[in-house]
Structure 1
Amino acid sequence: MLWFQVIFFSIPNFLLGSGIGLLGLVLFHAYTQSTNLKEVLPIEIRFWILFTLVSLMVGMFVALDKVLMINSIITYLQFLILTFVIIYVSIVEKSVEFFVNTFIFLVIICAITTLFWGVDYGGGRITMSPTNNPNTLGLTMTIGVGFILYKLNIKELFSSILYLSCILMFIYIILFTGSRKSLLAVALLLVSWLLMISISQLKLLTIANKVKYTTLIIVLIILLSNVLYPLLQDSVLLTRLMAFFESGDSTREQMYREAFSIFANNPVFGVGFDQYRVISIFGTYSHSTYAEILANTGLLGAVLYFSPYFVLMKNYTIQWFNKKNNFITNQRYRVLFIMYGVLLFLGFGVIHIYDKTSILFLAILIAFYRVEVKKSKIIKNGGIYE
């Protein structure tokens, strides 16, 4: 979905077919292992399933384009199936590493493809193919940087150098894409990691590892300032950033105003799933998760859709201050929480409910918490988590 079909050709109904296959295998495994599906169906997924059903029922009465509404809900339901599969497999495997590693591999392949075979999307912005929105590619690179920080272990110097190289390559590709929000997001991600994680972890390391850790941070700062900054000065991204800071983005502002006007006129139920594009004078989505959900599904849909966001906020806040977690687990909780904050920031310019990359990250975020909480409960009760 995120590379092959973008570069070569689209496979009709690939998401639907693979989703049915994945769900079938999971249900078969659950049946043969006598798994209680309620234990592997977290409250976040239950809220989103309820959101989907309510959106479908309400949409049948309020949506102007019911065919678009139904097709969009079916696509979102397929994303939910993928989310459930990721969570189920992670719980069974007792780890999210397969999905994290696979995502990093995907981002590396996308970065290399853009680096050597990238195409001009228009206005000097480079992306993987004529059909690949550079903002989507920039978001993929940003999540990739986050997962590299998730994997980073300063005690392993050689792997740290490789991970640092990946981060630099991903940021380099973001400069190619000209994606303003991706550059701001990755800057927020790195600064937050530096201030809230890297420095605080120094006291837990030996003298030798402290030296390596500090050296790595200094090298990262030097490379960012001396290698990437000159590239930024000559990039289309700087021009777009300067224009944004000087005059803002009037088109996006008008989209947001229109979305909130639609919400004000239809506050309870909205106008129907994915119907903003039907009603809007712009003929497209609103470019904001928050505006889109409110306009399309009203307060009812917003409560159902965003409730899992608050559940994740609560769960990760608790784990941030949990001193019983070991060094690696503590670091990974905090990196994922920072990535989650970045995702919320990106929600002002990206519609997560339509975006595959965002949904994949949310699935891994939910899965990691479930796996680690289950692990800690077993260990607390004197068991061995194998």
Structure 2
Amino acid sequence: MNILQLSVIIMIIYYVYFDQAISNIPGLTILLSIVMIACLLFYNFKQRLQGGLIKELSYEGKAYIIFFVLIFIPGLITSPYISSYLHSYLKGIQFAILFVSVFFLVKNNKNMDLIFKILGFSILAYALTAYFHGAIEPGTGRLIVSERGEPNGLALMMFLGIVIATYLWNKGLIYKVLIIGYIPIALSNVALSGSRKGFIGMAVFLFIFFICAVLPSINKKNIVVFLVSFTVLIALAVILYDWYLPIFSNSILFERFGWNLGDESVTLRVEMYRVALDLFKQYPFFGVGYDNFQYHSGIGKYSHSTYAEVLSCTGIIGAVTYFSIYISLTFKLIKLYIAKFKQKLPIYTEGIFLSYMLVDIIFCTVRIDLYDPIIFVLFGCMASYCKINEINDLGKDKHFLHT
């Protein structure tokens, strides 16, 4: 498991930071994926799991495998550029392998702190690079982390950083200090990136998180800690208001909040959704092939919507399989949240995960999950967390995953 853990760590750092901020390393993710498969097979042999890894895997992991198996041949047939399709499909397979590796890593260790810490430090490095050494996208004036990045990707990474920060907040003083330092940098990056969904995503997540995770966690034992933390955050908000308001009011983000149906980006996205629906009508069962919207649409880029992308690229068969993962995870988290709430057990982690899933389901209308490896990492953690809870007796094991 040590080699598997190292491979996962390297892949997370590469996808979050190195690939976006510095440079692509050809063949690295393929090599790491092969190592992960070898480690998983060795783990299967060593543990002598009855029924093998597949039986131990959660529904979500099985659904990812089924999804990629089902869409391969149809995509090969409909793709206008076979080499590009195979390249994209291979990346998708690597994301699925990453999901499975994270799932078994968390399940075996019964702890996901390491994964979240690696994510947190990688996103912090990404944020600092964008803040101090970021580039400006030609023609738009929007901030990007490097010439390899794009504005919405930057803002969504800042949003994911906020999600990770809520998990790490209770892990010690050093994490609180780093998070307090991260927040203004993230807000500045989002403002300069001009991404509305990144900014709104942060706000909506924090609101739901406060309702689902913070308020129910307050009791007589931790009321003092809560009040101190809340006071610090309010003070930080007051300080940030004076600092952030001029940045926000003079930013591209502020200008873009005046959007209407005549806004060029809105018009383009409406056109993308219309084209995606037309492609779905033409290829209703298996779509036009994984990551092939950009070629069949004539637009030259992905559809800016997970729903539109999955439907047009993988058809009804792929869409049902893929979105069943979201439904399964959400219902498991709701069930777990309610069960632990009734037994007066800690629900902080459940609140974070549930808040993220609710926001993600909404924002899948305007962002792409399908090609984002970090989503596979988060889903792997959540699926494993739910699997462990499914195994354990909640009433006897209150701190089984250090929540």
- Per the normalisation by structure 1, the TM-score is 0.90
The change in CA–CA distance for 1:201 and 1:303 in structure 2 (over 3 A counts) is same
Q: How does 1:227-266 map to 2 (within 5 A)?
A: 227-243=243-259, 247=263, 249-266=266-283
The change in CA–CA distance for 1:275 and 1:207 in structure 2 (over 3 A counts) is closer
Aligned residues: 384
Match of 1:332 in 2: 349
Match of 2:378 in 1: 361
CA distance in 1, matches of 2:185, 2:246: 15
CA distance in 2, matches of 1:43, 1:323: 22
User: Within the alignment, does 1:5 sit opposite 2:13 as a pair?
Assistant: no
CA distance in 2, matches of 1:204, 1:258: 56
1:237-287 alpha-carbon deviations (Å, 9 max, x no partner): 111222358747101110111101221233223222222222112122211
Match of 2:8 in 1: none
Tell me the CA shift for residue 167 of structure 1: 2.8
**One-letter identity of the residue aligned with 1:363:** G
Match of 1:142 in 2: 159
State the SS of the aligned residue for 2:136.
strand
Match of 2:142 in 1: 125
CA distance in 2, matches of 1:11, 1:263: 35
Residue 146 of structure 1 contacts residue 335 of structure 1 at CA under 8 Å; is this kept in 2? yes
State the SS of the aligned residue for 2:137.
strand
Segment drifting more, 100-109 vs 233-242: 233-242
User: Within the alignment, does 1:302 sit opposite 2:319 as a pair?
Assistant: yes
User: Within the alignment, does 1:46 sit opposite 2:62 as a pair?
Assistant: yes
Q: How does 1:95-134 map to 2 (within 5 A)?
A: 95-122=111-138, 123-134=140-151
1:140-179 alpha-carbon deviations (Å, 9 max, x no partner): 111110111122239x677545433323332222223222
CA distance in 2, matches of 1:328, 1:227: 39
The change in CA–CA distance for 1:178 and 1:33 in structure 2 (over 3 A counts) is same
**One-letter identity of the residue aligned with 2:93:** L
Q: Which runs of 5+ in 2 are unaligned?
A: 1-13
Residue 90 of structure 1 contacts residue 371 of structure 1 at CA under 8 Å; is this kept in 2? no
Q: Which runs of 5+ in 1 are unaligned?
A: none
Tell me the CA shift for residue 205 of structure 1: 4.2
Of 307, 315, 328, 1:311 maps to 328
State the SS of the aligned residue for 1:130.
coil
CA distance in 2, matches of 1:223, 1:177: 22
**One-letter identity of the residue aligned with 2:46:** T
CA distance in 1, matches of 2:136, 2:401: 50
CA distance in 1, matches of 2:261, 2:126: 29
Residue 340 of structure 2 contacts residue 394 of structure 2 at CA under 8 Å; is this kept in 1? no
Match of 1:17 in 2: 31
User: Within the alignment, does 1:273 sit opposite 2:290 as a pair?
Assistant: yes
Identity across the alignment (%): 24
**One-letter identity of the residue aligned with 2:89:** I
The change in CA–CA distance for 1:300 and 1:210 in structure 2 (over 3 A counts) is closer
Of 285, 300, 308, 2:302 maps to 285
Match of 2:365 in 1: 348
Segment drifting more, 325-334 vs 33-42: 325-334
**One-letter identity of the residue aligned with 1:32:** K
CA distance in 2, matches of 1:341, 1:385: 22
